[in-house]
Amino acid sequence: MILGLDISTSITGATVINGAGRVVYCKAWDTRKFKNFFEKAEHIKNCLAELKGVLPISKVVIEQSLQMFRAGFSSAKTLTTLSRFNGAVSWMCYDLFGTIPEYVSAPSARKTCGLKIQRGQKAKEIVLQHVLDTVDGFEVQYTRSNNPKPGSYDRADSYIIARTGYLQCQKEKN
């Protein structure tokens, strides 16, 4: 089984796909209520350990953290914190599942899954709609303002990462 992770210090998306390509687990692990880096990491560690207890994970694929600045987006402090958190969760995955995580960039994962994002389009919205249209049982709850509730985009992104890992495995088998 393949675990795909969209790691963030606020909400981490986690999806597991089985050997038949079906989603068997898709959750958003919310760490917004935790005060510091270590409490957040401890919560993710507990979620991973719980997952290990019920599903035999053989491959872990993680969305690569941002590597450069973009105007209007993340600051140096945010990028550094995200990279540290990504590294901590990567180590937890290695330690718990005994497999070296693989990393894939979001644009590469979207391309592998057949998604084309045009310049100016909001990638998160397109990814979420794609997952809603193609994945049986994937549901999203909405706010009163008709926006997806927190965690929806993270779950969708983690599916794209897990699906990329699954497609890579299929390619290697052939």
Residue 2, pLDDT score = 97
Domain that holds residue 75: 2-173
The structure tokens listed for 50 are: 């719980």
Give the C-alpha separation, 173 to 99, whole Å. 19
Number of domains, the chain: 1
DSSP state of 65: P
What's the distance, CA 70 to chain centroid? Answer: 21
Task: For residue range 4-45, list pLDDT tens digits in order.
Answer: 999 999 999 999 999 999 999 999 999 999 999 999 999 999
- CATH number for the domain that contains residue 56: 3.30.420.10
pLDDT tens readout for residues 76-134: 777 788 889 999 999 999 999 999 999 999 999 999 998 988 888 888 999 999 999 99
Q: Residue 89 corresponds to which amino acid?
A: V
* Alpha helical stretches, state H, 98-151: 106-112, 123-134
pLDDT at residue 71 in the model: 45
| pTM of the model as a whole | 0.89
- For 43-59, the DSSP string reads HHHHHHHHHHHHS---E
Average pLDDT, the chain: 91
Pairing of strands 2-6, 11-17: antiparallel
